[in-house]
Structure 1
Amino acid sequence: MTTAVREAPHHRNLTCYTDYACRLPECRERFNDWQRNRLRAVAAGTWQPFIDATPVREHLLKLYAAGSTIQRVSDLTGIDWNTVRLYTQPAVKQGRGMIRQTTAEVQAKILAIPVEPVLPGRVDPTGTRRRIQALSAIGWPLKELGPHVGIKPDNVRRILIRGQKVYGTTAMATIDAYERLRNDRPRKHGVSKLGVARALRNSQQHRWAPPKYWDQHPGAIDDPHFESMYRVTRREIIAQDANWIMTTVGLDRAATAERLGVDKSYIDHAFRDHPEYLVEVAA
Structure 2
Amino acid sequence: MTTDQAIREAKNRWARRRRRLIGYGQWQPFTDAEPARQHVLAIKATGMGLAQIAKHTGVNRGSLDHLLYGSPPVPPAAQIRTENAQALLAYWPSLDDYEDRNIIDGTGTRRRMQALAVAGWPSRAVHQRIRVGNPQTIEKLRACTKVTARLARAVRDFYDEVSAKTAEDYGVEPWIAGRTRTYATKAQWAGPEAWDTDIIDDPDAAPDWTGCCGTDRGWWMHNLNDIPACPRCEAAHAAWLAERRDLPARERWRQLALAKGAASNRGVNLAHDARELMRISGLTPDQAAERLGVTRQHLYQELTRHPDPETELAA
Structure-1-length-normalised TM-score: 0.40
Structure-2-length-normalised TM-score: 0.36
